[in-house]
Structure 1
Amino acid sequence: MSPAQPIKFKPRPDRLLEASTFVSNSYLSSSPIAQEILARDLAECCDDYGTHDCRCGHDYDDDVDFETEPLEVTNAQGSSFAPRSSGVAYGTLRPIITTETAASSDVALSRDAERSLLRDNHILPPKHRRGLAEPAWKQMYRRMFSTKVPQSDEVGPIISASSTKALESTPLLQDIYLDPPSPTESDEINRWEAAVAANVLKTTWQREAQTLTQYSRSLIITFLLHYSVTVTSVFTVGRIGRLELGAVSLATMTANITCYAPVQGLSTCLDTLCAQAYGSGHKHLVGLQLQRMTYLLWMLLVPIVTLWWFSGSVLASIIPEPETAALAGLYLRVLILGTPGVAAFESGKRFVQAQGLFHATTFVLLIGASVNIFANWFFVWKMGWGFTGAATAVVFTQNLLPFLLFLYVRFIEGMECWNGLTRRAFSNWGPMVKLALPGMIMVEAQYFAFEVLTLAASQFGSAHLAAQSVVVTVTSTTFNIPFPLSIAASTRVANLIGARLSGAAKTSAKVALVAGCLVGLFNLALLSSLRFKIPYLFTNDEEVAAIVSEVLPICAVLQLFDALAAISHGLLRGIGRQSIGSFTNLGSYYLVALPISFSTGWVLGWKLEGLWFGIAIGLAVVSSVELWYLYQANWDHAVEEAEMRMRSDDVCHGEFK
Structure 2
Amino acid sequence: MSPSLPIAAPARHSHHHHHAAEAGPLSSSYLATSPLAQEILIRDIAECSTDSEAEYDDAPDSDSDADESRPLHGHHEPRQRSASMAFHPSGIAYGTPCLAVAPQAPHPAPPVPREVEESRNAERSLLRDNHFLPPKHRRTGDEGTLRRVYRRIFSTKVRDPSLDDAFADTHTDLIYAKAVETTPLLEHDYEVGLPTPDSDEEHNRWETAVAANVIKTTWQREAKTLVQYSAPLIVAFLLHYSVTIGSVLTVGRIGMVELGAVNLATMTASITCYVPIQGLATCLDTLCAQAYGSGHKHLVGLQAQRMTYLLWLLIPPIGFLWYFSEPILASVVPDPETASLAALYLRILIFGIPGVAAFESGKRFVQAQGLFHATTYALLIAAPLSFLMNWFFVWKLGWHFAGAATAMAVTQNLLPLLLVLYVYFIEGSECWKGFSKRAFYNWGPMVKLALPGMIMIEAQFSVLEILTIAAGQFGTANLAAQSVLVTTTSTAFNIPFPLAIAASTRVANLIGARLVGAARTSAKVALAAGCVVGLFNLTVLSTFRHSIPLIFTSDPTVAAIVAQAMTVCAVLQIFDALAAVSHGLLRGLGRQSVGGYANLFSYYFVALPVSLGTGFWMGWKLVGLWFGLTAGLAVVTAIELVYLFRIDWETAVDQAEARMRSDANHEGEAK
Partner letter of residue 103 of structure 1? P
SS of the equivalent of 2:571 reads helix
What residue is the counterpart of 1:29 in the other structure? 32
Say if 2:187 is the partner of 1:168.
yes
Residue of 116, 119, 123 corresponding to 1:107:
116
SS at match of 2:92: strand
C-alpha contact (below 8 Å) 1:234/1:245 kept by paired residues: yes
**Partner residue in 1 for 2:532:** 518
What is the aligned partner in structure 1 of residue 7 from structure 2?
Answer: none
CA contact (8 A) 1:305 1:336 kept: yes
- String of CA shifts for 1:406-436, please: whole Å, max 9, x gaps: 1111111111111111000000000000000
| Residue number among 92, 95, 98 corresponding to 2:104 in the alignment | 98
Alignment-mate amino acid for residue 109 of structure 1: E
Cα drift, residue 150 of structure 1: 1.2
For 1:656 and 1:270, locate their aligned partners in 2 and report how far apart those are by CA, in whole Å: 20
1:39 match: 42
CA distance in 2, matches of 1:443, 1:464: 27
Give the whole-Å Cα distance in 2 for the aligned partners of 1:363 and 1:633: 41
Give 1:302 shift. Answer: 1.2
Q: What is the CA distance between 1:30 and its match in structure 2?
A: 1.9
Distance 1:594 1:69 in 2: 46
- Residue 368 of structure 2 is aligned to residue 354 of structure 1: yes
Aligned length: 625
* Mapped pair 1:249 → 2:263: yes
Structure 1 residue 26 displacement after superposition? 9.0
Matched, 1:121 2:130: yes
TM-score (norm 1): 0.91
**3-state secondary structure, aligned to 2:193:** coil
Name the SS of the counterpart of 2:313 in structure 1.
helix
Structure 1 residue 49 corresponds to structure 2 residue 52: yes
Deviation, 1:115, is 0.6
Q: CA deviation at 1:384?
A: 1.1
CA distance, structure 2, for counterparts of residue 623 and residue 80 of structure 1: 32
1:530 paired residue number: 544
Partner in structure 2 of residue 144 of structure 1? 153
Pairing partner for 2:570 from 556, 563, 567: 556
Residue-by-residue CA offset, 1:485-536 (whole Å, 9 max, x unaligned): 0000000000000011010000000000010000000000101000110111
AA aligned to 1:167 is L
Tell me if structure 1 keeps the 8 A contact 2:503–2:523. Answer: yes
Contact kept, 8 Å, 1:126 with 1:180, in 2: the verdict is no
Equivalence for 2:92: 88
Does 2:219 match 1:210?
A: no
Asked if structure 2 preserves the Cα contact closer than 8 Å seen for 1:164 and 1:187, the reply is no
Letter in 1 for 2:104: T
**Matched residue, 1:7:** none
Whether the aligned pair in 2 keeps the contact of 1:293 and 1:347 (CA below 8 Å) is yes
Correspondence for 1:653: 667
- Secondary structure, aligned partner of 2:90: strand
Shift of 1:382: 1.1
Structure 2 residue aligned with 1:588: 602
The SS at the match of 1:182 is: coil
- In 2, the alpha carbon distance for the partners of 1:617 and 1:70 equals 50
The alpha-carbon deviation at position 478 of structure 1 amounts to: 0.2
Which residue is 1:15 aligned to?
none
- Report the equivalent of 2:490: 476
Contact 1:89 1:98 in 2 (8 A): no
CA positional deviation for 1:156: 4.5
User: Aligned letter for 2:293?
Assistant: G
Alignment-derived partner of residue 140 in structure 2: 131
Task: Call closer, same or farther: CA 1:479–1:155 in 2, change over 3 Å.
Answer: farther
Q: How do 1:229-244 residues align onto structure 2 when only pairs under 5 Å count? A: 229-244=243-258
Identify the match of residue 634 of structure 2 among 607, 612, 620: 620
What pairs with 1:311-326 in structure 2 (closer than 5 Å)?
311-326=325-340
- Partners of 2:30 and 2:109 within 8 A in 1: no
Per the alignment, residue 499 of structure 1 pairs with 513
State the SS of the aligned residue for 1:81: coil
User: What's the counterpart of residue 415 of structure 1?
Assistant: 429
**Which residue of the partner structure matches residue 5 of structure 2?**
none
2:167: which partner in 1?
Answer: none
Rounded to whole Å, the distance in 2 between the matches of 1:76 and 1:480 is 39
CA distance in 1, matches of 2:109, 2:63: 29
Task: Report how far residue 165 of structure 1 moved.
Answer: 8.8
Given that 1:26 and 1:276 are in contact with CA atoms closer than 8 Å, whether structure 2 keeps it comes out as no
Query: CA 1:155 to 1:552, structure 2 compared with 1: closer, same or farther past 3 Å?
Result: farther
Which of 1 and 2 has higher RCO (CA within 8 Å, sep 6+)?
A: 2
How many angstroms apart in 2 are the aligned matches of 1:68 and 1:609? 55
Distance 2:412 2:295 in 1: 32
Between the aligned partners of 2:120 and 2:343, the Cα distance in structure 1 is: 53
CA distance in 2, matches of 1:574, 1:59: 35
Task: State the Cα distance separating 1:245 from its structure 2 match.
Answer: 0.5
Cα distance in 2, alignment partners of residues 88 and 76 from structure 1:
28
Distance 1:466 1:592 in 2: 25
Q: Does structure 1 retain, via aligned residues, the 8 Å contact 2:98–2:497? A: no
Q: 1:191 is paired with a residue of what secondary structure?
A: helix
Q: In the aligned structure 1, how far is the partner of 2:381 from the partner of 2:182?
A: 49
User: Would the alpha carbon gap of residues 165 and 232 (structure 1) be closer, same or farther in structure 2, given more than 3 Å must change?
Assistant: same
Q: Which whole-Å deviations, capped at 9, do the CAs of 1:282-312 have from their partners, x for residues lacking one?
A: 1110000000000000011110011011011
Which letter does structure 2 place at the counterpart of 1:116? S
Distance 1:140 1:69 in 2: 50
- Specify the code of the residue in structure 2 equivalent to 1:82: A
Q: Could you list the runs of 5+ residues in structure 2 that have no partner in the other structure?
A: 1-27, 164-171
- Compute the displacement of 1:632 (Å): 0.4
CA-to-aligned-CA distance 1:347-377 (integer Å, 9 cap, x gap): 1011111111111111111111111111111
Give yes or no for contact 2:511–2:653 (8 Å, CA) kept in 1. yes
Change in CA separation of 1:155 and 1:491 when aligned onto 2, cut-off 3 Å: farther
The alpha carbon displacement at 1:71 in A equals 3.8
- SS state at 1:260 partner: helix
Quick check: 1:578 aligned with 2:592? yes
Q: 1:198 aligns with which of 197, 212, 236?
A: 212
Specify every segment of 5 or more residues in structure 1 that has no aligned partner in the other structure, as ranges. Answer: 1-24, 172-176
2: CA distance between counterparts of 1:463 and 1:116?
A: 55
- Letter aligned with residue 219 of structure 1: L
Match of 1:9 in 2: none
CA distance in 2, matches of 1:429, 1:118: 47
Cα pair distance change 1:69/1:364, threshold 3 Å: closer
Deviates more, 1:605-614 or 1:27-36: 27-36
- Describe the shift of the 1:189–1:294 C-alpha distance in structure 2 as closer, same or farther (beyond 3 A): same
Q: What per-residue deviation string (whole Å, max 9, x for no partner) do you get for residues 228-255 of structure 1?
A: 1111101100000011001101100110
Check whether the contact 1:86–1:97 (CA below 8 A) recurs between aligned residues: no
One of 453, 457, 466 as aligned partner of 1:439: 453
Whether contact under 8 Å (1:79, 1:110) holds in the other structure is no
Quick one: structure 1 residues 184 and 132, their matched pair in 2 at CA, closer, same or farther if it must change by over 3 Å? Answer: same
Going from structure 1 to structure 2, the CA distance change for 1:276 and 1:85 (only over 3 Å counts) comes to same
Q: Specify the SS of the correspondent of 1:98.
A: coil
Distance in 1 separating the partners of 2:238 and 2:110: 24
> Could you tell me whether the CA contact under 8 Å between 1:163 and 1:187 is conserved in 2?
no
> Residue in 2 aligned with 1:21?
none
Greater Cα shift, 441-450 or 177-186: 177-186
After TM superposition, give the deviation of residue 102 of structure 1 in Å.
Answer: 4.2
Q: How do 1:261-410 and structure 2 match up within 5 A?
A: 261-410=275-424
What is the match of residue 604 of structure 1?
A: 618
Distance in 1, matches of 2:312 and 2:151, equals 56
Question: RMSD in angstroms over aligned alpha carbons?
Answer: 2.7
Task: For residue 167 of structure 1, report the CA deviation from its aligned partner.
Answer: 2.1
Q: Matched residue of 2:473: which SS?
A: helix
CA distance in 1 between partners of 2:36 and 2:305 (Å): 19
> Closer, same or farther in 2 for the Cα pair 1:137/1:59, shift >3 Å?
closer
CA drift at 1:66: 6.0
Give the counterpart letter for 2:38 in structure 1: Q
1:86 and 1:281 map into 2 onto residues whose CA distance is: 18
Identity %: 64
The 1:384/1:498 distance shift into structure 2, 3 A limit, reads same
